[in-house]
């Protein structure tokens, strides 16, 4: 195994992850020694509008998958409207492949808390919530501890640092529903309902939590804010590309020598990431990969040099998503992988809209049939037809995302499907698994 070349190493940009190396960074004392809460002190001396402008200037885009410009989102909050404003952090990390927010909240929870306070000050919110995935118990432990410490030090509560700005922050644990990562479903869940997406418009910016102006941002987005406040927009833009600025935490998993978190300048390629990760595992050759979680269309070895920023991945026919790079080799079956993802979407579909609820249910059954060696050529048409009826016709992005791996695997790996159907590949599922269950 050869060491990464120096030009590849130069793409590493440890910013958000940097404190993870300090084992006690989750304690407020250590955090403060490492520039902690310096950004907040600076921010509360500035006018909130200037902070919104700063974030606009930085070009920061949402780290939760959609890549919406953060400053623009903040600017949408109507000011002087006499209504309460809310900041809600989407910490419901659950997209298959995605594992960047949990380590951040576990090992550097104060950076998120500090970002929350600055963002709330900018949008004039006096209440903020961190909606954290229920299963993320250790991250929640550290986060609750951080919030308690921040209150004790006067960073939360009344008249923060003498600024006459008040903020209350609640860490709210979910209860096991992937759909709550969709921002309007998250808001419904936070209001104590089933987590089902809302019709939009109106958008959360005007009618969000409790029908009040609300900003919903991902963990990585909010945790970026203190660094931009400290280092400035120009410094932030020294990383990444023109339209996708800043560092990004790429989460590499699968058939590589060293899976893990690699915070790099946006626009790095998979070839370079694999180089950083020590190459493929011995005996494995790259066959397919997801650029940003299971809701993003699969890419192949042909796409090793696609720049992994919002524009580059879109041009290659996929989506940057959450930069959850799951890497599969020639020993992995794209049909089986897609089947497992579909089981997930079927399980997690909230049931509100017919295309997603029914479409995923039936597609899972078609996949089981194919994998049990009982598929037909018509099944492939049925799959594409079903995807056609889900994509763009579902209530929210969950349904759209479910079709990604189906259509892309059929596009690149149709032969694998035919091999099951025409009996060249041994069945992967038994007849027993065709009956109900699961």
Query: Minimum distance between the CB of residue 260 and other proteins, rounded to whole angstroms?
Result: 3
Minimum CB separation of residue 170 from other proteins in Å reads: 5
Contacts of 364 (CB under 8 A, 6+ apart): 339, 342, 343, 346
Length of the chain as a residue count:
438
Nearest to 229 by CA among 55, 406, 18, 109: 55
Instruction: Quote the tokens at residue 30.
Output: 């250590």
Joined together, the tokens standing for residue 97 give 């492949």
Residue 303 gets which letter from DSSP? Answer: G
Q: Classify the phi-psi angles of 96: left when phi > 0, otherwise alpha if psi is within -120 to 50, otherwise beta.
A: beta
The nearer residue to other proteins, 187 or 381, going by C-beta atoms, is 187
Spacing of C-alpha 214 from chain mean position: 19
Nearer to other proteins, 261 or 374 (CB): 261
Smaller CB separation from other proteins, 18 or 357: 18
**CB of residue 180 vs other proteins: minimum separation in angstroms?**
9
Residue 57: how many other CB atoms lie within 10 Å: 16
Residue found under tokens 């995302």: 401
> Nearer to other proteins by C-beta: 72 or 380?
72
Is the Cα dihedral 338, 304, 262, 297 positive or negative? negative
Report yes or no: 377 and 421 within 8 Å, Cβ to Cβ: yes
Residue tagged 């969000």 (tokens): 208
Measured from the CB atom, the residue of 10 and 377 that comes closer to other proteins is: 10
Q: Which is nearer to other proteins, 186 or 376 (CB)?
A: 186
Q: Kindly tell me which of 62 and 376 has the beta carbon lying closer to other proteins.
A: 62
Report d(CA 289, CA 218) in Å as an integer: 23
Q: Using the 8-state DSSP alphabet, how is residue 101 labeled? A: H
- Which class for 430: exposed (0-12), middle (13-18), buried (19 or more C-beta within 10 A)? exposed
| Rounded-to-integer distance, Cα 383 and Cα 375, Å | 11
Nearer CB in complex with other proteins: 155/289: 289
* DSSP helix/strand/coil, 251: strand
CB of 293: closest distance to other proteins in angstroms?
A: 9
User: What is the closest distance, in whole angstroms, from the C-beta atom of residue 164 to other proteins in the complex?
Assistant: 19
Smallest distance from the beta carbon of 374 to other proteins, in angstroms? 21
CB of 378 to other proteins, least distance (A): 26
DSSP letters for 355-383: HHHHHHHHHHHHHHHHHTT---HHHHHHH
Q: Would you say 203 or 373 has its CB closer to other proteins?
A: 203
Instruction: For the CB of residue 423, give the shortest distance to other proteins in the complex, in Å.
Output: 23
Smallest distance from the beta carbon of 251 to other proteins, in angstroms? 6
């Amino acid at each position: 195994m050869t060491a990464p070349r120096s030009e590849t190493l130069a793409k590493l940009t440890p910013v958000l992850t940097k404190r993870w190396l300090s084992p006690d960074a989750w304690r407020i004392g250590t955090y403060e020694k490492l520039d902690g809460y310096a950004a907040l002190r600076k921010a509360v001396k500035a006018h909130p509008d200037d902070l919104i402008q700063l974030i606009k200037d930085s070009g920061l885009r949402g780290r939760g998958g959609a890549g919406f410009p953060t400053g623009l989102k903040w600017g949408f909050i109507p000011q002087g409207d006499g209504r309460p404003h809310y900041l809600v952090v989407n910490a419901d990390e659950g997209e298959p492949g995605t594992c960047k927010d949990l380590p951040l909240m576990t090992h550097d929870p104060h950076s998120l808390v500090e970002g929350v306070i600055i963002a709330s000050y900018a949008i004039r919110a006096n209440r903020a919530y961190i909606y954290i995935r229920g299963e993320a118990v250790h991250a929640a432990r550290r986060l609750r501890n951080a919030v308690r410490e921040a209150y004790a030090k006067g960073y939360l509560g009344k008249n923060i640092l003498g600024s006459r700005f008040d903020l209350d922050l609640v860490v709210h644990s979910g209860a096991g529903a992937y759909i709550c990562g969709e921002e309007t479903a998250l808001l419904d869940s936070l209001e104590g309902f089933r987590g089902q997406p809302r019709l939009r418009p109106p958008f959360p910016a005007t009618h969000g939590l409790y029908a009040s102006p609300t900003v919903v941002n991902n963990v990585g987005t909010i945790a970026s804010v203190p660094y931009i406040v400290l280092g400035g927009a120009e410094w932030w833009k020294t990383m990444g590309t023109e339209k996708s600025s800043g560092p990004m935490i790429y989460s590499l998993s699968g058939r590589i020598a060293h899976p893990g978190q690699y915070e790099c300048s946006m626009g790095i390629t998979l070839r370079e990431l694999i180089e950083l990760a020590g190459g493929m595992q011995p005996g494995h050759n790259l066959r397919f990969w997801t650029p940003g979680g299971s809701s993003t269309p699969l890419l192949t070895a042909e796409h090793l040099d696609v720049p992994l920023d919002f524009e580059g991945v879109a041009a290659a026919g996929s989506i940057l998503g959450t930069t959850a790079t799951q890497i599969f080799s020639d020993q992995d079956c794209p049909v089986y992988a897609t089947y497992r993802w579909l089981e997930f979407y079927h399980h997690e579909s909230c049931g509100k809209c017919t295309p997603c609820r029914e479409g995923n249910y039936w597609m899972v059954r078609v996949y089981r049939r194919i994998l049990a060696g009982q598929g037909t050529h018509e099944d492939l048409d049925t799959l594409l037809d079903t995807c056609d009826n889900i994509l763009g016709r579902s209530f929210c992005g969950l349904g759209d995302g479910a079709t990604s791996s189906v259509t892309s695997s059929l596009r690149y790996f149709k032969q694998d499907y035919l091999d099951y159907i025409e009996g060249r590949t041994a069945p992967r599922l038994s007849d027993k698994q065709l009956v109900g269950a699961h």
